[in-house]
Structure 1
Amino acid sequence: MDLAKYGPWALITGGSEGVGAAFARQLAADGFKLVLVARKPEPLEELAAELRGKGAEVRVLSADLSKPDVLDHVRAVTDDIEIGLLVYNAGANNTRGNFIELPREVPDSVIAINVLGQTEFARHYGAPMIARGRGGIILTGSLGGYLGSATLAAYTAAKAFSRVFTEALWAECQPLGVDVLHLNIGFTATPAMARLGLPIEYAEAPENVAREGLDNIANGPVWIVSTKGNLEQAKRTSIVENRAETVRAFQIGPREDTGKAAIEQEELANGS
């Protein structure tokens, strides 16, 4: 990773475990200074101690990205430094149900993190990057953003927003020297997925996801992680004709079917 172009500091939200921690380790190895933001303080401090033990300079902040004042809290630990890379890695969905039956706070939280958070952080940290004529922004998304799925209305819609928003931001920023990438992630072996009871033995390693994001930051606006079946799934769910049939056929199934779906995607990619 080019420290001169994207450094000296990288800000990673959702930076305590999984893909966020993988980003942190790889950027620290490349000489970046880090600001890690996540909700749980214990994993944050553990990762920070690990990276500091290897010589990295690390700041941490425990903050809830769904709260309207979260950017103010993050600014308290970033306003005195130069953030050259923003990795907004947050937005897993832990509650499913029909939209009209869910408590309002469930979809509101999803929208706050995936829509409002991404736009607010991109605006605040992108502006000085544009002024400097260098920098990078990675906004993580999901294959779920290619079509709506029953019991995941707010989540799939928010992920769709993230992709289209990133495409537009890329078009604006690329001529001005700032790279913007929507990193489209499929089934990944993160602690968040494990806590949901998903069979992560079939999933992509977080280290691979982070590496593809960093290696392809200049290949925007969208990079689909090369997990077997991901590209094929994106193509299948992007069909415009007979949209009703597409939604019925490819909407995200129950959690207990996730492992089966991962196997089927791998078989499809292998032509079996």
Structure 2
Amino acid sequence: MDLNKYGPWALVIGGSEGVGAAFARKLAADGFKLVLVARKPGPLEALAEELRAEDAEVRVLSADLAQPEVLDQVRAVTDDIEVGLLIYNAGANNTRGRFVELPREVTQSVIAITVVGQADFARHYGALMCRRGRGGIILGGSLSGYMGSPTLAAYTGAKAFSRIFSEALWAECQPLGVDVLHLNIGFTATPAMARLDIDISVAEAPEKVAQEALDNIANGPVWIVSTPGNLERVRKISVVDGRAEIIRAFAIPPRDQMADLQRSQSEQAAP
């Protein structure tokens, strides 16, 4: 990563484990100073100590990203530094069910983190970058943002917002010297997935996902991680005609079938 264009500080939202931690380690190795924000203080502090032992300068903040005051909390630890890279990696979903039956606080949390959070953080830090004429923004997305899926209405809707929002933001910021990338990940081996008892033996490594994003930040507005089958799936579910049949055929499966889906997609994508 170009420290002169995207540094000296990188702000990683959702930066305590999984893909966020992989981003942090790679950026620290490239000489970036880091601000890591996540909800769980334990993994956050452990990662910070690991990076500090390698001589990285790290600030941490434990915060609930679903709360309306979270940007103010993060600004309290960033207003005195120059954030040249924003990585918004938060937005996992751990609750499935019919939208009309799920508690409002569950679905509103998904929307607050992925829709409101991405918009608010991109507005604040993106404005500063555009004034400086340099910087980069990576917004975490998912293949699920290309099609609504039953039991994941809020999640798939929020991810769709993220992708379309990123495309527009890219078009606005790119002429001003700021790169914007929507990172579309598929089945990835994260601690959050493991905690849901999902078989992650065939899932993509977080380190590969993070590296592809960093390597392609200037190739926006959208990057689909090169896990076998990802691009093919996007093409299949993005067609305009026959949406009812597409939604029924390609709905995200139950958790105990996700590894089987990845195996099938990889086999079909093999040359």
CA shift, 1:34, in A, is 0.0
Q: For residue 164 of structure 1, what is the aligned residue in structure 2? A: 164
Q: For residue 207 of structure 2, what is the aligned residue in structure 1? A: 207
Alignment deviations for residues 12-37 of structure 1 (CA, whole Å, 9 cap, x no partner): 01100000000000000000000000
Output the amino acid matched with 1:37: V
CA shift, 1:66, in A, is 0.5
CA shift, 1:52, in A, is 0.4
Establish whether residue 70 from structure 1 lines up as the match of residue 70 from structure 2. Answer: yes
Q: TM-score by structure 2 length?
A: 0.99
Alignment deviations for residues 179-200 of structure 1 (CA, whole Å, 9 cap, x no partner): 0000000000000000011111
CA shift, 1:163, in A, is 0.1
Distance 2:23 2:32 in 1: 11
Q: For residue 124 of structure 2, what is the aligned residue in structure 1? A: 124
Establish whether residue 96 from structure 1 lines up as the match of residue 110 from structure 2. Answer: no
Q: For residue 22 of structure 2, what is the aligned residue in structure 1? A: 22
Distance 2:236 2:268 in 1: 12
Distance 1:220 1:194 in 2: 30
Q: For residue 83 of structure 1, what is the aligned residue in structure 2? A: 83
Establish whether residue 180 from structure 1 lines up as the match of residue 176 from structure 2. Answer: no
Q: For residue 133 of structure 1, what is the aligned residue in structure 2? A: 133
Distance 2:98 2:166 in 1: 28
Output the amino acid matched with 2:64: D
Structure 1: which 5+ runs fail to align? none
Structure 2: which 5+ runs fail to align? none
Distance 1:235 1:31 in 2: 38
Distance 1:126 1:144 in 2: 25
Q: For residue 241 of structure 1, what is the aligned residue in structure 2? A: 241
Q: Percent identity?
A: 75
Distance 2:264 2:83 in 1: 41
Distance 1:174 1:228 in 2: 29
4+ residue runs of structure 1 moved beyond 6 angstroms?
Answer: none
CA shift, 1:3, in A, is 0.0
Distance 2:262 2:106 in 1: 27
Q: For residue 110 of structure 1, what is the aligned residue in structure 2? A: 110
Distance 1:115 1:212 in 2: 23
Q: For residue 52 of structure 1, what is the aligned residue in structure 2? A: 52
Distance 1:67 1:208 in 2: 31
Q: For residue 225 of structure 2, what is the aligned residue in structure 1? A: 225
SS of corresponding position for 1:202? coil
Count matched residues.
271
Q: For residue 13 of structure 1, what is the aligned residue in structure 2? A: 13
Distance 1:269 1:119 in 2: 34
Output the amino acid matched with 1:67: Q
CA shift, 1:260, in A, is 0.5
Distance 2:190 2:38 in 1: 14
CA shift, 1:128, in A, is 0.8
Distance 1:233 1:127 in 2: 35
Alignment deviations for residues 59-78 of structure 1 (CA, whole Å, 9 cap, x no partner): 00000100010001001100
SS of corresponding position for 2:201? helix
Output the amino acid matched with 1:250: F
Alignment deviations for residues 211-264 of structure 1 (CA, whole Å, 9 cap, x no partner): 000000000000000000000011111011111000000011111110100100
Output the amino acid matched with 1:214: L
SS of corresponding position for 1:99? coil
Q: For residue 252 of structure 1, what is the aligned residue in structure 2? A: 252
Output the amino acid matched with 2:150: A
Output the amino acid matched with 2:133: G
Distance 1:265 1:66 in 2: 33
Q: TM-score by structure 1 length?
A: 0.99
Establish whether residue 270 from structure 1 lines up as the match of residue 252 from structure 2. Answer: no
CA shift, 1:105, in A, is 0.5
